[in-house]
Structure 1
């Protein structure tokens, strides 16, 4: 596993709850070259005094060099953690989702707020509709399969689609990989309620058609 050593004095933001570690705050990264070059590889973050600070997803290709998974030394980064966090995010918003307009795009998973840095998931049409996911960071991209499995189990929705923000993924050193991850792909044109109005939209890209 990679070990990231933070420069002296640069750990203050991390200890205050900042989930991002910039390259300028890093003294060195120890580990195998193939791990250092793999976007999203799990790393232990330690202080200049070699004290444990966090576990994070490291990405040498990103301006945000590391995104924190946990501040707990005893919490492994594994399938079970991804499942727990997806389930918690869905449960947290479950009541609001059930009350929401099924034709609206409902934000179901909100990245760092849910302990899943870089992951955005929108729901459209409830259980019979679609989940649209954006994996905007190397860490969650590596855990794509368990994340999708957890979403299917937690929501009962059968259709999961990956939407790609080309610029964000390029900045993370990630390929552009839009497409269905489970079930069917959304149609290119759906009516989506936006700011109280129904507008024709391609939820695969966010493109709104002229009316």
Structure 2
């Protein structure tokens, strides 16, 4: 596992709750080259005095060098963590949604899933649209999708890709269905009090 050592004094923002670690805060990164070059590889973050600070996802290709998973030393980063956090996010936001709205189910760092945005349309018979905007969640894509399928009962999961964001993270740009069917090109989506024609795969709103 990688070990990220933070420069003296730079741990203050981390301890105050900032989930992002920038390259300027890092003294050194120890570990195998293949791990250092893999976007989203799990790392232990320690202070300059070698005290544990966090577990984080490291990405040498990103302007955000590491994204914190947990400040608890006894909490491993594994499939079970992804399942728990997806379940918690869906439980918090998944009730009473307007089936014609494109509603947010998972909202990145707020849900402990850095870089992940999931929107729902159409209830269980509809679609989940996911954006894996960081190496952190890209590396755990399969268990995250499995957890979404189980937590929502929705069988159709589509990945939307923002080329600038994905390339900035060193990730491939490959939108498409991750489970079930791809959404149709045009759906009527709630916007305020009315409905607008939208391609939920991209977020493009058609002219009226």
State the TM-score bracket (shorter-chain normalisation). over 0.9
What is the match of residue 204 of structure 1? 201
CA deviation vs aligned residue, 1:39-66 (integer Å, no higher than 9, x gap): 0000000000000000000000000000
What is the match of residue 173 of structure 2? 176
Partner of residue 125 from structure 1, selected from 122, 125, 128: 122
Q: How does 1:1-211 map to 2 (within 5 A)?
A: 1-95=1-95, 98=96, 100-211=97-208
CA distance in 2, matches of 1:210, 1:106: 21
Unmatched 5+ stretches in structure 2:
none
Secondary structure (helix, strand or coil) at the match of 2:65 reads: strand
**Structure 1 ranges of 4+ moved more than 2 A:** none
Secondary structure (helix, strand or coil) at the match of 1:38 reads: coil
Task: Using the TM superposition, give the Cα deviation of residue 196 of structure 1 relative to its aligned residue in structure 2, in angstroms.
Answer: 2.1
CA distance in 2, matches of 1:132, 1:93: 15
Q: CA RMSD in A?
A: 0.6
Normalised by the length of structure 1, the TM-score is: 0.97
Unmatched 5+ stretches in structure 1:
none
Normalised by the length of structure 2, the TM-score is: 0.99
Secondary structure (helix, strand or coil) at the match of 1:64 reads: coil
